[in-house]
A and B are shown apart, each in its own frame.
Chain A
Amino acid sequence: MKNKQKNFAQSRSLRNISTHYCPGCGHGIAHRLIAETIDELGIREKVIAVAPVGCAVIAYDYWDFDCSEAAHGRAMAVATAIKRVRPQNIVFTYQGDGDLAAIGTNETIHAANRGENISVVFINNAIYGMTGGQMAPTTLLGQKTATTLSGRDARLQGHPLKISEMLAVLPGVKFVERVSLHSPQEVMKTKKAVHQIFKNQIDNLGFSLVEILSPCPTYWGISPKGALEWIRDVMSKEFPLGRIK
């Protein structure tokens, strides 16, 4: 997909190149919303992003500001240190559900609990994209994946992990909202929430996270349009949208 789309102007923080994402993937939209927000807040030259290991591993090729890699799951530990060393900068992580809520759960909970003044963009697509469609901690019950061939079974694999709700109970956490990319209206709400997590950091309010329900048509095995409907009709029932804290 080209970043230039009819109803959006090119943003300064986004490079005008094609991404490697599949058709109908949510990552490209999320990248754009972040880039636009950064431009609107005028903080491009202050931003330091921390990219995940997952489909968005080369997000730094698409964004046009400073960016660090982090080992799979460790983005918040990396971001913690960057922010502590350079509090004048604006530091955010961008992480998938495997990165943030499976291998990196410990780093996630403790960065949140320390109330690190960072912004977190959490892409929940209920699957492991990069490694070929295996079960994620957020995979729905009954959802078929490469490692849950007859669907996720609560007795064997547990229930979908609601990490955002878990984080919301921590006193160090300032802001948690779950949003979705399944319709233009929801994309606008997502944009508002993304704006908020950066604004909170600028105002020194502490740990702020936005969870974005994001389509992965490729490993959900449905069309891009079907994927948006699945978020609306199924996924958002398990992961209710709205402000959590």
Chain B
Amino acid sequence: MTGNEAIAEGAIQAGCDFYAGYPITPQNELTAYMAKEMPRKTRVFIQAESEIAAINMVFGAAAAGARAMTSSSSPGISLKQEGISYLAGAQLPAVIVNIMRGGPGLGNIMPSQADYFQATRGGGHGDYHCPVLAPSSVQEAYDLMFLSFELADKYRNPVMILGDGMLGQMMEPLCVRRSAFGVRRYKKPWALTGCRGRRPNVVKSFFIREGDLETFNLLLQKKYHTIRREEQRWEGLFLEDARVVVVAYGTMARIAKSAVVNLRKAGRRVGLIRPVTLWPFPVEAFENSVKLKAQSAKRPRYLVLEMSYGQMVEDVKLTLNGRATIEFLGRSGGGVPGEREIEKQILKLLS
């Protein structure tokens, strides 16, 4: 199965009731899979007239209590930003998949990680965040769909899956399994279902009375604080004695991992941190690794790898806050740092 199809199947297994999307490469297989499978399960599939319509359909479906999702790629995700901001403002759960391509502008259809800032800083207007999950294999893309719907419902917040064209197109064997925590169906007493036997519900993000919006924003901040505390996820490799720690996510982490494993085989003390949640950024992983390294005399060294000219590296710098030497290697617009290049860079840092 391709990564795109695995995401679609994962969403279906996770109880996605509603999908709306607009075609864009390199995520078309995802929309096509939903078009085929959703109606078979008497769930709703709509090919929307635009990404703007699609995200607002997701808003409507979520407001009516459904597990709702849309997917797109970079330019389409830019179009959805107003809608994502409204979802955050109305506290509606939804899942948005971005299979990133090269930018800016129409860019190209090559894999890219250049939408990191947009995804992790909110993206649209207003003071909000979406949890962002970054799978690095077809299986993980599938598995994370359960988590994404779970987090969306649990926190009543949009959640983003951030993949890239390579992950979307890549074929790997997939185990179609249930999630460890099952599919929890949350009660949604706030949903629009018609006001039979209760007072009318209103789904909105508008707070006209003075002071109300500030109070509401404080409530959102409290929620984001909880998410930051509870939901950091990452994979760590060889961190116990690593003198150089490589940091990479998604497809870039696959290449990074094989470079790290190669050098380990050659006896080099190198490790890997692969953030799975990009927001909240897994600061705990760095705190742990800094602590480990404090025992050695040498200043800790990190090498951040991205398919961009340096976006996640800013979060690494904010996290380490001057406590380590941080190097960066990245390419963008379809370029991908290669294994040899990475190994060479690591060796330089080790020496």
Residues of A that sit less than 8 Å from B by CB: 44-48, 50-51, 57-58, 60, 63-71, 74, 77-82, 84-86, 89-90, 106-107, 109-110
Name the B residues within 8 Å of A107 (CB-CB): 49, 52-53, 56
A81-B206 contact, Cβ under 8 Å, with A47-B194, A86-B64, A107-B49: no
Q: Find out whether the CB atom of A78 lies under 8 angstroms from the CB atom of B57.
A: yes
Among residues of B, the one whose C-beta sits closest to the C-beta of A43 is: B194
26 chain-A/chain-B pairs, Cβ below 8 angstroms: A44-B195, A48-B193, A60-B202, A65-B195, A66-B193, A67-B202, A67-B203, A68-B203, A69-B202, A69-B204, A70-B59, A71-B86, A77-B59, A78-B56, A81-B61, A81-B68, A82-B61, A82-B64, A85-B61, A85-B64, A86-B64, A86-B194, A89-B64, A106-B49, A106-B52, A107-B53
With both chains docked as a complex, state the minimum distance between the C-beta of A57 and any C-beta of chain B, in angstroms.
6
Within 8 A of A (CB), among B40-55: 44, 46, 48-50, 52-54
User: Is B63 in the interface zone, CB < 8 Å from A?
Assistant: yes
Q: Find out whether the CB atom of B196 lies under 8 angstroms from the CB atom of A46.
A: yes
Q: How many Å lie between the Cα of A84 and that of B192 in the bound state?
A: 13
Q: Find out whether the CB atom of B63 lies under 8 angstroms from the CB atom of A78.
A: yes
User: Is B261 in the interface zone, CB < 8 Å from A?
Assistant: no
With both chains docked as a complex, state the minimum distance between the C-beta of A42 and any C-beta of chain B, in angstroms.
12
With both chains docked as a complex, state the minimum distance between the C-beta of A106 and any C-beta of chain B, in angstroms.
6
With both chains docked as a complex, state the minimum distance between the C-beta of B191 and any C-beta of chain A, in angstroms.
9
Q: Find out whether the CB atom of A68 lies under 8 angstroms from the CB atom of B192.
A: yes
Q: Find out whether the CB atom of B61 lies under 8 angstroms from the CB atom of A68.
A: no
Name the A residues within 8 Å of B56 (CB-CB): 70-71, 74, 77-78, 81, 107
A110-B204 contact, Cβ under 8 Å, with A45-B196, A82-B64, A85-B64: no
With both chains docked as a complex, state the minimum distance between the C-beta of B64 and any C-beta of chain A, in angstroms.
5
Within 8 A of A (CB), among B60-89: 60-61, 63-66, 68, 82-83, 86
For the complex with contacts A74-B56, A80-B46, 15 further pairs of A-B residues with Cβ separation under 8 Å are A46-B194, A50-B60, A66-B202, A68-B204, A71-B59, A79-B60, A80-B57, A80-B60, A81-B44, A81-B58, A82-B60, A86-B193, A89-B194, A106-B49, A110-B49
Q: Find out whether the CB atom of B46 lies under 8 angstroms from the CB atom of A85.
A: no
User: Is B18 in the interface zone, CB < 8 Å from A?
Assistant: yes
Closest 3 CB pairs between A and B?
A81-B60, A78-B60, A74-B56
Within 8 A of A (CB), among B164-200: 192-197, 200
Name the A residues within 8 Å of B18 (CB-CB): 81, 84-85
Name the A residues within 8 Å of B319 (CB-CB): none
User: Is B256 in the interface zone, CB < 8 Å from A?
Assistant: no
With both chains docked as a complex, state the minimum distance between the C-beta of B35 and any C-beta of chain A, in angstroms.
14
Within 8 A of A (CB), among B146-166: none
Name the A residues within 8 Å of B58 (CB-CB): 81
Q: How many Å lie between the Cα of A107 and that of B68 in the bound state?
A: 19
Name the A residues within 8 Å of B86 (CB-CB): 69, 71
Name the A residues within 8 Å of B52 (CB-CB): 74, 77, 106-107
What is the interface size of chain B, counting residues whose CB is below 8 A from a CB of the partner? 40
With both chains docked as a complex, state the minimum distance between the C-beta of A122 and any C-beta of chain B, in angstroms.
18
With both chains docked as a complex, state the minimum distance between the C-beta of A109 and any C-beta of chain B, in angstroms.
8
User: Is B285 in the interface zone, CB < 8 Å from A?
Assistant: no
Name the B residues within 8 Å of A71 (CB-CB): 56, 59, 82-83, 86
With both chains docked as a complex, state the minimum distance between the C-beta of B225 and any C-beta of chain A, in angstroms.
26
Q: Find out whether the CB atom of B50 lies under 8 angstroms from the CB atom of A66.
A: no
Among residues of A, the one whose C-beta sits closest to the C-beta of B208 is: A58
Name the B residues within 8 Å of A58 (CB-CB): 206, 208
Name the B residues within 8 Å of A60 (CB-CB): 200, 202, 204
A66-B46 contact, Cβ under 8 Å, with A50-B60, A106-B53: no
With both chains docked as a complex, state the minimum distance between the C-beta of A135 and any C-beta of chain B, in angstroms.
23
Among residues of B, the one whose C-beta sits closest to the C-beta of A77 is: B56
Name the A residues within 8 Å of B9 (CB-CB): none
Q: Find out whether the CB atom of A77 lies under 8 angstroms from the CB atom of B192.
A: no
Which one of A44, A64, A80, A82 contacts B63 once the chains associate, using CB atoms below 8 Å? A82
